[in-house]
Structure 1
Amino acid sequence: MFEIRDLKVSFGGIQALKGISLEVREGEIVTLIGANGAGKTTTLRTASGLEKPLEGSVFLDGKEITKTSARDRVKAGLIHVPEGRRVFPQLTVMENLDLGAFQRRDRAGIAADLKMVFERFPVLADRKTQLAGTLSGGEQQMLAMGRGLMARPKVLLLDEPSMGLAPLFVQEIFDIIVKIRETGTTILLVEQNANMALRIANRAYVMETGKIVLSGEASELLASEDVKHAYLGG
Structure 2
Amino acid sequence: MLKVEKLDVYYGNIRALHEVSFEVNEGEIVTLIGANGAGKTTVLHTISGLVPARSGSVRFLDYDLIRLAPHKIVQLGLAQVPEGRRIFANLTVKENLEMGAYTRKDAKGIKDDYEQVFTRFPRLKERLNQMAGTLSGGEQQMLAIGRTLMSRPKLVLMDEPSMGLAPLLVSEIFDIIKEINAAGTTILLVEQNAQMALSIANRAYVLETGRVVLQGDAKTLADSEEVRKAYLGG
Which of the five TM-score ranges fits, normalised by the shorter chain? over 0.9
TM-score under structure 2 normalisation? 0.99
Give the equivalent residue in structure 1 for 2:22: 22
**Aligned residue type for 1:3:** K
Distance 1:220 1:25 in 2: 18
Determine whether 1:80 maps to 2:69.
no
Give the equivalent residue in structure 2 for 1:38: 38
Give the equivalent residue in structure 2 for 1:10: 10
Please give the per-residue CA displacement for 1:48-103, whole angstroms capped at 9, x wherever unaligned. 00000000111111321212111100000110111000000000000000000011
Distance 2:62 2:32 in 1: 21
Distance 1:18 1:200 in 2: 27
Give the equivalent residue in structure 1 for 2:181: 181
Contact 1:117-1:146 at 8 Å conserved across structures: yes
Distance 2:82 2:219 in 1: 26
Gaps in structure 2 of 5+ consecutive residues: none
Please give the per-residue CA displacement for 1:153-179, whole angstroms capped at 9, x wherever unaligned. 011000000000011110000000000
Give the equivalent residue in structure 2 for 1:65: 65
Determine whether 1:201 maps to 2:211.
no
Distance 1:74 1:3 in 2: 17
**Aligned residue type for 1:140:** Q
Give the equivalent residue in structure 1 for 2:117: 117
Three-state SS of the structure 2 residue aligned to 1:103 is coil
Determine whether 1:165 maps to 2:165.
yes
Give the equivalent residue in structure 2 for 1:190: 190
Three-state SS of the structure 2 residue aligned to 1:187 is strand
Please give the per-residue CA displacement for 1:116-152, whole angstroms capped at 9, x wherever unaligned. 0000011101101100000011100000000000000
TM-score under structure 1 normalisation? 0.99
Determine whether 1:229 maps to 2:229.
yes
Contact 1:2-1:62 at 8 Å conserved across structures: no
Distance 1:168 1:82 in 2: 21
Distance 2:113 2:220 in 1: 36
Distance 2:232 2:128 in 1: 38
Please give the per-residue CA displacement for 1:14-34, whole angstroms capped at 9, x wherever unaligned. 100011001000000000000
Determine whether 1:49 maps to 2:49.
yes
Equivalent pairs, count: 234
CA RMSD of aligned residues (A): 0.6
Three-state SS of the structure 2 residue aligned to 1:75 is helix
Distance 1:59 1:232 in 2: 32
Identity %: 61
